[in-house]
């Protein structure tokens, strides 16, 4: 096949795949939560309620696109776009199969950290420009939580980088031929999962939007598709961190050869996503100050020690 056509196919395939996965995830999550909470979940629209997502999407496009008269119009409109755009850009570096990726940056991990940091702006600007006290509180909490956990997220990945000697995600997957990094880097893996959940402010760490305290937190004043974009952004975020967990720690596309690499990657990603949904069903929300103290007092020293121990072991064994 013509390489240009092939590249274009990959580009739009990744984009389409990410968006479909995010939309499908809404249905998967509601069904799985229903299963674990002993109820049905959506089951009316189409077989097993699978068209619920499409119905919701049509509905949300026709909802009133309300911009509060007291809000800062420009920033209010830009904020939800930032989260969707940055998370989607993060997908560009994920290698789905040995030759299927949008771009193989040699600074792959740093690119991911950068895009996820820019995502914070969406929350800050959205909460601040809404000019609503609950939104402001949500935005403040969210900022504090996200910039705190960003530090540990970056540090927890350094063990993987040291074992590979490269930031490129392609090389990282290839370095896991012998053993998945989840075994030698179990500490880094656990810290990464916790930090990534806090970074996407996903339950149980959904403190910036804690419904029982802050109405809907930073997106209280959002409605229609703008709210939908925050929503889609969250689900895209879950898909992205699951895909990255698989790439960095669970061997990416590697697996026994009876399934193609792409299938292994999708299967592993789906398992991680289901695990994250299970976390939502199983865990209560911690208190805000507990979350921050836990991060600074436990996760930061642990991730630093993890780096030191990894370095010493690798240098000692040669």
* Segment 271 to 310, residues that bind other proteins, using CB under 8 A: 287-289, 292-293, 296-297, 300-301, 304, 307-308
Q: What is the nearest approach in angstroms of other proteins to the Cβ of residue 177?
A: 15
Decide: 83 and 230 in contact? Cβ < 8 Å: yes
By CB under 8 A, is residue 110 in contact with other proteins?
A: yes
81 contributes a contact to other proteins by CB under 8 A? yes
Binding other proteins (rule: CB under 8 A), the pick from 30, 31, 170, 202 is 170
Question: CB of 38: closest distance to other proteins in angstroms?
Answer: 30
Binds other proteins by CB under 8 A, chosen from 135, 239, 242, 266:
135
User: Can you tell me the distance from the alpha carbon of 241 to that of 237, in angstroms, rounded to the nearest whole number?
Assistant: 6
Size of the site for other proteins (CB under 8 A): 79
- For residues 242 and 273, the answer to whether their CB atoms sit within 8 Å is yes
- Residues 181-200 interacting with other proteins (rule: CB under 8 A): none
Question: Does the bond joining 269 to the residue before it have cis omega, within 30 degrees of 0?
Answer: no
Q: How far is the CB of 228 from other proteins (least distance, A)?
A: 8
Alpha helices (H) along the chain: 3-36, 52-61, 73-90, 108-129, 133-156, 158-164, 169-174, 186-199, 211-214, 224-249, 261-282, 288-294, 300-317
**How far is 276 from 279, CA to CA, in rounded Å?**
5
Looking at the Cβ atoms of 132 and 277, the one nearer to other proteins is 132
Does 212 participate in binding other proteins (rule CB under 8 A)?
A: no
65 binds other proteins (CB under 8 A): yes
Check if the beta carbon of residue 209 is closer than 8 Å to that of residue 216: yes
DSSP states of 20-83: HHHHHHHHHHHHHHHHHTTS--S-SSSGGGTTHHHHHHHHHHTS-----TTS-HHHHHHHHHHH
Rg (CA), the chain: 20
Task: Select from 148, 245, 247, 266 the one that contacts other proteins (CB under 8 A).
Answer: 148
Distance CA 53, CA 219 (A): 21
Decide whether 258 or 308 has the Cβ nearer to other proteins. 308
Question: Which tokens sit at 103?
Answer: 């771009």
Which of residues 27, 76, 112, 167 is near other proteins by CB under 8 A? 167
Query: Measured from the CB atom, is 32 or 307 closer to other proteins?
Result: 307
- Of 29-37, 100-108, 243-251, 253-261, the window that binds other proteins (rule: CB under 8 A) is 100-108
**Does 40 help bind other proteins (rule: CB under 8 A)?**
no
Residue 18 or 32: which CB sits closer to other proteins? 18
Candidates 100, 114, 140, 175; binder of other proteins (CB under 8 A) is 140
Contact between 55 and other proteins by CB under 8 A: the answer reads: no
Cα first-last separation, the chain: 43
User: Looking at 199, 209, 221, 234, which residue binds other proteins (CB under 8 A)?
Assistant: 221
Of these, 88, 96, 173, 193, which contacts other proteins (CB under 8 A)?
88
Rounded-to-integer distance, Cα 179 and Cα 189, Å: 14
**Residue 105 makes contact with other proteins by CB under 8 A:** yes
CA distance 109 to 115: 10
- Find the part of the chain contacting other proteins (CB under 8 A) among 20-28, 36-44, 175-183, 220-228: 220-228
Which lies closer to other proteins via its Cβ, residue 55 or residue 110?
A: 110
């Amino acid at each position: 096949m013509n390489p240009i056509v092939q590249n274009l196919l990959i580009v739009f395939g990744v984009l389409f795949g990410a968006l479909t996965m995010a939309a499908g995830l809404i249905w998967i999550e509601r069904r799985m939560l229903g299963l674990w909470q002993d109820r049905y979940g959506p089951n009316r629209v189409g077989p097993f309620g699978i068209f619920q997502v499409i119905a919701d999407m049509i509905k949300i496009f026709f909802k009133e696109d309300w911009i509060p008269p007291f809000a800062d119009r420009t920033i209010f409109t830009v904020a939800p776009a930032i989260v969707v755009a940055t998370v989607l850009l993060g997908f560009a570096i994920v290698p789905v199969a040995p030759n299927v990726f949008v771009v193989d940056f040699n600074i792959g991990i740093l690119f991911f950290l950068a895009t996820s940091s820019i995502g914070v702006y969406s929350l800050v600007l959205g909460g601040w420009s809404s000019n609503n006290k609950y939104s402001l509180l949500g935005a403040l909490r969210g900022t504090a939580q996200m910039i705190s956990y960003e530090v540990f997220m970056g540090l927890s990945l350094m063990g993987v980088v040291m074992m590979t000697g490269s930031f490129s995600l392609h090389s990282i997957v290839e370095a896991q031929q012998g053993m998945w990094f989840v075994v030698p880097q179990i500490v880094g893996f656990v810290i990464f999962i916790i930090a990534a959940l806090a970074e996407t402010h996903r339950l149980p760490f959904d403190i910036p939007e804690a419904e029982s305290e802050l109405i809907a937190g930073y997106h209280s004043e959002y409605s229609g598709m703008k709210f939908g974009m925050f929503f889609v952004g969250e689900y895209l975020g879950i898909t992205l961190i699951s895909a990255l967990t698989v790439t960095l720690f669970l061997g990416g596309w590697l697996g026994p050869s009876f399934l193609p690499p792409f299938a292994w990657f999708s299967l592993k990603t789906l398992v991680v996503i289901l695990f994250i949904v299970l976390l939502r069903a199983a865990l209560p929300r911690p208190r805000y100050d507990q979350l921050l103290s836990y991060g600074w007092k436990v996760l930061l020293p642990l991730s630093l020690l993890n780096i030191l121990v990894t370095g010493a072991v690798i240098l000692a064994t040669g």
